[in-house]
Amino acid sequence: MKSIIFIAPPAAGKGTQAKLVTEKYGIPHISTGDLLRAASNGDDELSITISKLLSEGKLVSDDLVLELLKERLEQFDCENGYILDGFPRNLTQAKKYEEILSNINMELGIVIFIDLAREVAQERISGRLSCPKCGAVYNSSIEGSMPIKENICDNCGTTLIHRNDDDITTYGIRYQTYMKDTVPLLDYYQTIHKLYVVDGNKSKDEIFKEITDIIDNNQ
């Protein structure tokens, strides 16, 4: 099975879709945020540095993220494909990611863009809840995206929170960053015939059906 990169504006539901794809196809969901959080839990100098950067809301260097990603992709469970979420975020990262794939003899796979208008995504942001422990995301504005038990994570039982950056003002900043840095990736992946587009305005199940059709047609 080919690897999958998800690209979407903030609050478009790519985390939800990544979870569904993982469950259906049995491939790992790799989030660079999760990699960094895991790397920050140690007591060595590197872990302490990453932990400090994350707690201060600062960006971790591309080189460090890429090294963590390379180590993760070399694990056995990635041999039959994986989902990459949150990376690459810009064209520079995309090129460096392809260099890593070349070095470890892996293919780029496919890129799936969940297309959703800013107005709709911004409306959804107010309904989003996140798990501070495992990173799972839920949303009361998206059909079928609420936890089974109100305000409790399905995965680990932790109380869900509304993140500080999930407000309209902060969302506007994040969306502008997305437009500036991430959208050019779409042109790049379109040029090399790796890009597939799904309609993010549809229901969760309809979006998932579009995504699985793309995956199945590319095996």
Query: Looking at the annotation, which residues are catalytic?
Result: 14, 89, 128, 163, 174
φ and ψ of 29, to 5 deg: -100, 110
Instruction: For residue 29, list its beta bridge partners.
Output: 83
Q: Got the DSSP string for 7-25?
A: E--TTSSHHHHHHHHHHHH
What is the four-CA torsion angle of 18, 22, 85, 162, rounded to 10 degrees? 50
Tokens of 77: 């469970």
Is the separation of the CB atoms in 16 and 204 below 8 Å?
yes
Does the CA dihedral 77-211-68-96 come out positive or negative? positive
What's the rounded Cα separation, in Å, for the pair 169 and 182? 19
Of 84, 83, 95, the closest CA to residue 189 belongs to 95
Q: From the centroid of its chain, how far is CA 2?
A: 17
What's the rounded Cα separation, in Å, for the pair 176 and 10? 10
